[in-house]
């Protein structure tokens, strides 16, 4: 089996070699080849032995961790779509509908993103980096199911080119590329990114009686009169705490279920791919700020003020953003202790943006991007303290 594959690549690879017809596309060929066949590179300098972990495995573990929210997202997207369209709700049908909605977005995201990756790799004569495989999957999961495909392509192009490649590619970017792509769409096409965009109507007899229509949980508060308490209003709109936790409501494809993000997060922390410090800090940030507002502000002044802070953890994309985007090692601080602070500030900013800025219903995206900018400063802060404690050696 291995010999056959090796031979096959030997034949297929010929046009991509130096002097071949497709020489320019060598990075693309190499990317495919090294995924299928592990490279046989051996050490040429000391140390003579190396660890088995590499970036391919590192990144593929993030993809593995994304499987629970992605699969649930497909199911939920199909479910909400069929519910709103009044179609039958059998599991196979629901999954099929979800796949029909999500797969084209995923394919467009990977194809458009890969085009730019390969283009930049070919020009720079670099190998294609595995980091893109994560970005290309993360991005469509953060989108509403109604996003047109051309918009997916535009978003991922912006994210890959401006968010990453202009800085030199994976490892050198200062902003999370998937979030950059999401933010681009959010500001460039606000109409398609907020409002009644969370359920894809797929034709059929019309909404069933219990179909959810109206505002998403995050957009609900600004619509309420002052003095109304948010929790009962959320429950009335069908967003009880458990619904928000399990994720059975309309929203961004992969980001509705805090439970699935929890599973992914536990997997990432146990395998050591994501740092638990950022995640703990983020949860503390949300709860700390949430309780501060809860206790200090007058509940009559805004519906948000009366909200139990635990709701913030399960609403919108916070769990998804914290687990999969805030922990991105490239854009997070590298130092251990400031990771708590970094996470904390992401959580705090998320709550502040949600509560005090009705123009942006989703705070986590902006909070993470904002803290990405501050990550090097936080690092500098900890490094300078650390350096002062060393006995100088020059």
Partner 1 sequence: MISIHLKKGYDLNVAGKPSRELKTLPPPDQVALLPDKLPFVKPRLTVKTGDRVQVGSVLFEDKANPGVKFVSPGGGTVVDIQYGPRRVIEAVVIRLDGEEAFAQFPPIPENRIADVARDKLAAALVDGGVWPLIRELPFRNIPRPDTQMPSAVFVDLSSEEPFQPVPGVYLRDRADLLRYGAGVLRRLAKRVIVSIADRDAGLLAETGLEDAPDCFPIRYRGHYPAGDPGVLLYRTKRTAKENRSWFIRGQDLLLLAGLLRDGVFPTERTVVVGGTGSPVHGHIRTRIGAPLAHLLGGAGPNGDTRYIQGGLLSGYAAPREGHLGLYETGLTLIPEGRERELFGFIRPGYSKPSYSRAFLSVFHTAPFERNCNTHGEERACINCGYCAHVCPVDILPQYTMKALRADEIEEALALGLLDCVECGLCTYVCPSKLELYQTLKNAKARYHQEMNR
- Contacts to partner 1 by CB under 8 A: 1-2, 5-6, 34-43, 45-58, 60-61, 127, 129-131, 168-172, 270-273, 275, 329-330, 332, 334-336, 379, 383, 386-387, 390-394
Phi/psi zone of residue 19: left (φ > 0), alpha (ψ -120 to 50 degrees), beta?
A: left
| b/e sequence 37-68, b meaning 16+ C-beta within 10 Å | eeeeeeeeeeeeeeeeeeebebbbbbeebbeb
Comparison of 49 and 209: residue with beta carbon closer to partner 1: 49
> What is the residue whose two structure tokens read 């009880």?
240
First to last CA, the chain: 56
| CB-nearer residue toward partner 1: 91 or 380 | 380
User: Cβ 360 to partner 1, closest distance in Å?
Assistant: 29
What is the rounded distance in angstroms from the CA atom of residue 169 to the CA atom of residue 158?
13
Whose Cβ is closer to partner 1: residue 44's or residue 210's? 44
> Which phi and psi angles does 349 have, rounded to 5°?
-65, -35
Distance in Å, CB of 212 to partner 1, minimum: 38
Contacts of 292 (CB under 8 A, 6+ apart): none
- Shortest distance, CB of residue 74 to partner 1, whole angstroms? 22
Quote the CA–CA distance of 349 and 83 in Å, as a whole number: 34
What's the min distance (Å) between Cβ of 11 and partner 1?
A: 16
In the complex with partner 1, the residue whose CB is nearer, 70 or 255, is 70
How far, in Å, are 1, 198, 209 from residue 342 at the CA level?
Answer: 48, 30, 44
In the complex, least distance from residue 116 CB atom to partner 1, rounded to whole angstroms: 17
Task: Name which of 24 and 126 has its Cβ closer to partner 1.
Answer: 126
151-to-107, 140, 154, 164 alpha-carbon distances in Å: 13, 11, 5, 19
Question: In the bound complex, what is the minimum distance in angstroms from residue 159's beta carbon to partner 1?
Answer: 17
The residue (of 46 and 226) whose beta carbon lies closer to partner 1 is: 46
* Other Cβ atoms within 10 Å of 1 Cβ, number: 5
Whether residue 324 contacts residue 65, with contact meaning beta carbons closer than 8 Å, is answered with yes
User: Toward partner 1, which CB reaches closer, 128 or 286?
Assistant: 128
- Looking at the chain, how many residues does it have? 394
- Interatomic CA distance for residues 199 and 84, integer angstroms: 7
The pair of structure tokens assigned to 352 is 């502040």
When the beta carbons of 14 and 50 are compared against partner 1, the nearer one is 50
Question: Least distance to partner 1 from the beta carbon of 119, Å?
Answer: 18
**CB 172 → partner 1: shortest distance, Å?**
6
């Amino acid at each position: 089996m291995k010999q056959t594959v090796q031979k096959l690549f030997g034949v297929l690879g010929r046009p991509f070699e130096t002097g071949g017809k497709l020489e320019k596309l060598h990075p693309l060929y190499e990317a495919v080849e090294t995924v299928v066949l592990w490279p046989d590179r051996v050490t040429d300098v000391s140390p003579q032995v190396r660890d088995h972990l590499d970036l391919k495995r590192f990144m593929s573990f993030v993809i593995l961790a994304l499987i629970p929210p992605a699969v649930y997202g497909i199911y939920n997207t199909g479910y909400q779509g069929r519910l709103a369209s009044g179609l039958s709700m059998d599991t196979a049908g629901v999954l099929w509908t979800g796949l029909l909605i999500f797969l084209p977005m995923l394919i467009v995201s990977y194809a458009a993103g890969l085009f730019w990756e390969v283009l930049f790799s070919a020009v720079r004569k670099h190998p294609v980096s595995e980091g893109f495989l994560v970005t290309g999957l993360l991005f469509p999961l953060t989108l509403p199911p109604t996003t047109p495909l051309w918009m997916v392509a535009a978003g991922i192009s912006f994210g890959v080119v401006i968010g990453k490649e202009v800085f030199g590619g994976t490892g050198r970017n200062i902003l999370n590329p998937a979030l950059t792509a999401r933010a681009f769409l959010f500001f460039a096409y606000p109409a398609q990114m907020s409002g009644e965009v969370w359920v894809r109507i797929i034709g059929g007899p019309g909404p069933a009686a219990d179909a959810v229509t109206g505002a998403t949980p995050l957009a609900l508060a600004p619509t309420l009169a002052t003095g109304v308490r948010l929790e009962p209003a959320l429950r009335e709109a069908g967003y009880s705490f458990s619904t928000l936790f399990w994720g059975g409501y309309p929203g961004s494809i992969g980001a509705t279920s805090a439970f699935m993000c929890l599973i992914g997060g536990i997997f990432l922390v146990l395998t050591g791919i994501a740092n638990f410090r950022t995640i703990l800090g983020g949860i503390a940030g949300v709860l700390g700020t949430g309780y501060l507002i809860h206790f200090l502000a007058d509940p009559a002044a805004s519906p948000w003020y009366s909200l139990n802070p635990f709701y913030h953890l399960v609403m919108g994309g916070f769990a998804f953003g914290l687990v999969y985007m805030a922990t991105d090692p490239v854009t997070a601080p590298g130092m251990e202790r400031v990771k708590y602070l970094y996470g904390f500030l992401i959580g705090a900013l998320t709550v502040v943006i949600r509560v005090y800025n009705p123009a942006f219903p989703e705070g986590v995206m902006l909070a993470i991007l904002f803290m990405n900018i501050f990550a090097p400063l936080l690092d500098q802060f900890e490094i300078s303290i650390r350096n002062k404690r060393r006995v100088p050696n020059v």
